[in-house]
Structure 1
């Protein structure tokens, strides 16, 4: 049997992390995708609420998916969708106080999970974890030509 490729290992790790996050966040009423959006919104805390497009760019999620997630989070009362006063096509997102409270809990939950995932590297603050993250970030930043 051939050795697994780096693509396969990255895919397996991503799937393991996503499933683990979904399970860990379920008691809070969040999916991993919803968490990605609301935690990004929480982390921005800018004077002007970001647009759905800005959050799509930040998270790497498709704009239509961000819109769907925002509607789900709005239904829970954790996010407000606001019309942009300068661009009627744009929708801005603002986290509510209830959303902030849930997000803080979720950040603690995901932090404990990331501690477990990075334990083989010496933990989140270790040199090996920093090197692994830098390598993964370099892979993410590299352009991919899908035409060939």
Structure 2
């Protein structure tokens, strides 16, 4: 085994960081009645609406990286809580469009402020949210997320 393999692997570190972030976001948005996954949906909807889009559940699933069935379940819960409105797309009766209610927009704005503060705290070691190291880190993360996974490498080796 080479010396490079004596410490934690990048995959392990990404997993640990994602778990740390998930727990921190869950705790931060819980007082607003949201979970991390629900926050991801409402914050994405909020941003998409601001850019003029009223996405379908499928489009939101693609945007967030969540499974469409899970987005549907989350959307139903958010609708029951009065934060989200689900309507049939007039152009495609099979599709469901999503929009935040007035209450949903208010909760989402407050949650975004909370998470912005959390991001500042998490990224402080890199110079803060607007620091050059954070911008470089963000570019690296985007590169990793954009890299396709080769299905042949996902099979266990024998």
Cross-structure match for 2:11: 7
1:87 counterpart = 2:98: no
Match of 1:113 among 107, 110, 118: 118
Cα deviation code 1:7-41 (max 9, x no counterpart): 11011000000000000100000001000000000
What SS does the corresponding residue of 2:54 show, helix, strand or coil? coil
What SS does the corresponding residue of 2:123 show, helix, strand or coil? helix
Runs of 4+ in 1 over 3 A off after TM superposition: none
Deviation at 1:86, TM superposition (A): 2.0
Aligned positions, number: 148
With normalisation by structure 2, the TM-score equals: 0.90
Measure the CA separation in 2 of the matches of 1:29 and 1:37. 14
Cross-structure match for 1:141: 146
Where do residues 39-50 of structure 1 align in structure 2 (5 Å cutoff)? 39-45=43-49, 47=52, 49-50=54-55
Cα deviation code 1:30-75 (max 9, x no counterpart): 0010000000001011555210011011111110011011001001
What SS does the corresponding residue of 2:152 show, helix, strand or coil? coil
Measure the CA separation in 2 of the matches of 1:116 and 1:47. 31
With normalisation by structure 1, the TM-score equals: 0.96
Unaligned runs of 5+ in 2: 154-158
Unaligned runs of 5+ in 1: none
Cross-structure match for 2:73: 68
Cross-structure match for 1:99: 104
Deviation at 1:146, TM superposition (A): 2.7
